Amino acid sequence: MRDYYSIKINLPGGIASPGYLKKILTAAQHAQVAKVRFGARQQLLMTVHYEDMKSFEKELKQLEISYEVNTERLPNIISSYCGEDVFRTGQWLHADEYHTVLDSFDYTPTLKVNISDSHQSFTPFFTGNLNFISSGDPHFWYLYIRPRQHNILYKWRDLIYTNEIGAVSRAVEDCLLSGINPEDESFYQEVRSKIHYISLSASQELELPSFALPYYEGFNRYESRTWLGLYRRDELFSADLLMDICNLCLRTRIGEICTTPWKSIIIKGIEDQHRKEWSHVLGKHNVNVRHAANELAWQTEDHTEEGMVLKKDLTRYLEKNDTRTFGLCFAIQTRPKSEVFGSVLIRKRPLLSIGQLALFSVYDLFYTENFNPNSRVQIPFEKGLFHIHLPGQLERLCRKFNKKQLSENLPVFKTEPEPADNLSDAMRVHQCLHCFTVYDPDYGDLLRNIPAGTPFEDLPETYTCPTCDAEKTAMQEILLSSPKLKTS
């Protein structure tokens, strides 16, 4: 018999009214639940002891609250509503449109549905099976379909009206689950035979923003009010803390609490006269805010302590080495077939296993195309890393990204040649023409098992640049002394 059961309660769109959340928390506290989590799909997660499970389920049923036990059969609908007003850059999409979309679902999807503002980079665009993204035409949406266990996106041929999204989702889901290939003409015709919906031809191609994760924690000002973001290092929120938050929301007439894919919560619309009350709640529960930005840019799988421990080790290492991670987000995958969102992916796999038992494990390090986490293309960086080598290689990948950004955004620097009489003091090294990484024979390349003192000419022809993997022929001999810099 299980000691604990995993409970999942969907919060469509990542939105919960304080009253609704309070009902769930009250039932959870009756079942001796002290802490809860929010999942990567903006759902509420908790574990309940088997002795309390029967009474907990009974109370949830009385409250008419849908839930799942130890399954993920019905994924939550996620949306970018959590960033509405506070992170948006301006478009026709507002709170009313989000609610209209969510209200259009008169069924419970068995496929993952994402609802995204095309002008934001806070929530993922393509982690769903049905991905609706706002277009430049008001009240119309792009649809990108990704079948289960596939990495290919199929763009729907026309734009879909806001009020029709729920019905179209149902028809598309029925066709996908029946096994029809979305690439076939018959797929489109079958959906059209099931439902007649308002559509529009796209006037332009979808252009997604470059990724930049906004700082989503602490008290922040917008317009004439304040929003509060709360993140917990261990991803655990005290039920007592959340209960006090619900009560304060009800007392100050805040109608919604938003969950995020980063397993945090956002409370919008805090009036100035209530700011001290919110500070009091945080102080009462010893809640710290204003964590380092690089710590907030991580996503782990739901219900995984291993991922949390690894995240803690890696963020500590990056902080200790003062590594710049701006523009990146990181994902840790410890279980096969799980899905996490990040521009850098750390994937655990067994090196040696007997049956289902993994005896030794290693880590593979990937990054997405152009380091955009919404890209479905994953590029290997280093494979088969032991835990002890992972932090250093992760830092090296961060530096690769920063050099890429530097080469794209800043003018190229050239060295002025030294006077002829000083050339005898210069060192001859080889520099990569793409990323300017230097191979110095005095140091070798320990990461590639090249010992110090190895001349460049003695390197194998398969040798590549340790930063950008350019071929050996792309490394040019230069004289390294004390150059002066000038822009071109």
Q: Is the pLDDT of residue 425 over 70?
A: no
Tell me what percent of the residues of the chain surpass a pLDDT of 90.
71
CB distance 115 to 101 below 8 Å? yes
What domains sit in the chain, N to C, each tagged with a CATH number? 88-200 (3.30.413.10), 294-409 (3.30.413), 413-487 (2.20.28.10)
Whether residue 483 is predicted with pLDDT greater than 50 in this model: the reply is: no
pLDDT of residue 461: 86
Q: Give ∠ CA 79-82-87 in degrees, rounded to 5.
A: 115
pLDDT at 476: 81
Residue 440: predicted pLDDT: 81
**Tens-digit pLDDT profile for residues 135-144:** 999 999 999 9
In the prediction, which pLDDT does 89 show?
64
pLDDT at 467: 64
**pLDDT at 488 exceeding the cut of 70:** no
| CA atoms within a 13 Å half-sphere pointing along the CA-CB vector of 27 | 24
239-251 and 275-284 helices, crossing angle to 10°: 170
Asked whether the beta carbons of 211 and 204 are under 8 A apart, the reply is no
C-alpha torsion sign, points 449, 452, 455, 456: positive
Measured distance CA(403)–CA(212) in Å, rounded: 17
- The pLDDT tens digits of the residues spanning 137-167 come to 999 999 999 998 888 899 999 999 999 999 9
Q: What is the largest CA-CA distance in the chain?
A: 90
For the chain, the average pLDDT equals: 89
Q: How far apart are CA 195 and CA 181, in angstroms?
A: 18
Say which residue, 475 or 372, is predicted with more confidence.
372
167-187, pLDDT tens digit by residue?
999 999 999 999 999 999 999
pLDDT at 449: 80
Give mean pLDDT, residues 456-472. Answer: 81
> Average pLDDT in the 360-385 region?
93
| pLDDT of 409 strictly over 80 | no
Are residues 292 and 319 in contact, defined by beta-carbon separation less than 8 angstroms?
yes
Task: Give me the mean pLDDT over the 372-377 stretch.
Answer: 91
Is pLDDT at 412 greater than 90 in this prediction?
Answer: no
**Per-residue model confidence as pLDDT tens digits over 27-81:** 999 999 999 999 999 999 999 999 999 999 999 999 999 999 999 899 999 999 9
Give the range with max mean pLDDT: 28-32, 430-434, 481-485. 28-32
For residue 447, what pLDDT is reported?
Answer: 67
pLDDT at 351: 82
Instruction: Supply the pLDDT for residue 2.
Output: 64
Per the listing, tokens 């390294």 go with: 480
Cα distance between residue 384 and residue 382, in whole Å = 7
Beta strands, E only, 199-320 = 199-200, 218-222, 225-230, 237-238, 257-259, 265-270, 298-300
Please calculate the CA angle 133-162-339 and round it to the nearest 5 degrees: 35
pLDDT tens digits along 190-223: 999 999 999 999 888 998 888 989 999 999 998 8
Per residue in 88-142, pLDDT tens? 766 899 999 999 999 999 999 999 999 999 999 999 999 999 999 999 999 999 9
Instruction: Give me the torsion for CA of 282, 285, 286, 289, rounded to 10°.
Output: -40
Task: Read off the tokens for 426.
Answer: 């210069």
The percent of residues above 70 in pLDDT, for the chain, comes to 91
pLDDT, residue 307, reads: 94
Residues 224-261 have pLDDT tens digits of 899 999 999 999 999 999 999 999 999 999 999 999 99
Q: What is residue 472's predicted lDDT score, i.e. its pLDDT?
A: 86
Phi, psi of 354 (to 5 degrees): -120, 110
Choice between 376 and 481, residue whose per-residue pLDDT is larger: 376
Residue 74 CA from chain centroid, whole number: 21
HSE-CB at 417 with a 13 A cutoff on CA atoms is: 6
Written as six digits, the tokens of 317 are 């290492």
